[in-house]
Structure 1
């Protein structure tokens, strides 16, 4: 799952233009995951939706299986945005922190792995929470000058709290 290349940049160091293009692409790839997390945290529908391709797929089933949850596979940007924001808005406060991003780029497609720590607190009672450490496995596609998520698979390394109170 994780990108384990020994170098962050694959373009030859002497090819300044190629290095610059790759650095921009890498920043835009990781930014798609930042838009995903911050869009949820702010309950910002436009920002959250900007992270996804129209035909995106979000698979939270591997993470939820750790505590017995059985969410559906979410397909389509509109379904993903509506499902998640409806679940959280006015009910759950969230914060997402992205670490250890590793990116590989192949033309107009890319692959990203990262660790995301996600805190979910019931808005009415912050004593009821779920703190999740989740490995993310993400495939992206170029969309003009930015990158968007085509497929995201979220697993769970560990959790604390009561995920069933947050996710059902």
Structure 2
């Protein structure tokens, strides 16, 4: 594989997580779904445990989109993605990245819950696009009112 193709693939891998984050923040279910493989697995348990709540492993694109759309519907969120490190393995890839996630209740902008999370993401190529097959999220630090997440 040429260096140009490797670089293009690395950008496309990171773009899958950008689509995921933007889909969540914009409450755009189609955009969110475009980032996920049909049988994707989403594991927020490590981060959730540090925030003091249980969150189940979610399996399948439709289930992940439904769970995130439902649990975050009363919050405004902003996810900032940084420090992506991509490892390519043919039509599979691994992405380690930091994500800062701000959560603000729509009915009370004076409260917030800010998390800096480490995402470990497995991806696969589907045609001309990369999609997420598994995400595991762990928390590095958090700040604010944990009760903001209780609406989840």
Gaps of 5+ in 1: 1-10, 12-17
> Which structure has the bigger radius of gyration?
1
1:114 partnered with 2:119: no
Q: Which residue of 2 aligns with 1:32?
A: 16
Cα deviation digits, residues 108-161 of structure 1 (max 9, x gap): 100000000000100000122110000000000001111000000000000001
Q: Secondary structure at the match of 1:127?
A: coil
Name the Cα RMSD after superposition: 1.1
Partner of 2:52, secondary structure, is coil
CA–CA distance in 2 between the matches of 1:163 and 1:140?
A: 31
In the TM superposition, what are the counterparts of 1:2-151 in structure 2 within 5 Å?
A: 18-89=2-73, 91-151=74-134
User: Quick check: 2:45–2:56 contact (8 Å CA) kept in 1?
Assistant: yes
Unaligned residue ranges in structure 2 (runs of 5+):
none
Q: Tell me the number of residue pairs that the alignment of Structure 1 and Structure 2 aligns.
A: 151
TM-score (norm 2): 0.96
